[in-house]
Structure 1
Amino acid sequence: MSNQLENLISKKEEIQKKIERENLILKKSKYLESTKERKARTRKLIQKGALLDKYFETENLSIDETEDFLKIFSNYIKENKPDKYKKN
């Protein structure tokens, strides 16, 4: 009887360790995925900023000045944006 109990306890411990390993793998996977998404978003923002500088020549403007500059044209651009660039 005690041998069976020891076997059950041993199996329980093995299962708990396996669950902990799987949880660690899952946590690492989620971390890697969020890191990948964050890097993709950062890259996209950098590319858009570079395009803004290229086409509107805003390299010499501060962040606040750039925001003010964009606010000036924002309504016009929103109203005259071609349908293919509008959100569905």
Structure 2
Amino acid sequence: MKKKHPISDIQKRIDQLEERKKNILRLTKERERKKRANRLIQTGALAEKYFELGSLSIEEREELFKIVSKAPRFNTSTDFNMDRQSDVEPSPSKNFMNCSPTF
């Protein structure tokens, strides 16, 4: 014989599951924010390393990034094989290597 659950017990279980769902979504968003923050920090560190940004003001950095953003782009889907080992450097596209900077 099945045990009958009063509606209040079922509603309580629904509320618990909804709260659990909210917590899972909150934790997922928090993890994604942390991953993004980490990527931004790493990208900024690489930019400082390779562009020697230490002496530039934020306005000068923005101008540099505007100039660099106009250069021919890598095609990340073909120029970077994500299955490669991390110690192998990616090959830049031919357009990028053959362009002359217009600084």
Determine whether 1:27 maps to 2:26: no
Flag structure 2 segments of 5+ consecutive residues without an equivalent.
81-103
Structure-1 residue corresponding to 2:69: 74
Structure number with greater Rg is 1
Q: Given the two structures, how large is their TM-score scaled by the length of structure 1?
A: 0.75
* Higher percent of residues as helix: 1
Highest relative contact order (Cα 8 Å, sep 6+), 1 or 2? 2
Flag structure 1 segments of 5+ consecutive residues without an equivalent.
1-7
Q: Given the two structures, how large is their TM-score scaled by the length of structure 2?
A: 0.65
Query: How many aligned positions are there?
Result: 76
- Letter aligned with residue 44 of structure 2: G
Structure-2 residue corresponding to 1:65: 60
Q: CA RMSD in A?
A: 2.1
Give aligned-pair identity as a percent: 37
Q: What's the offset of the Cα at 1:70?
A: 1.3
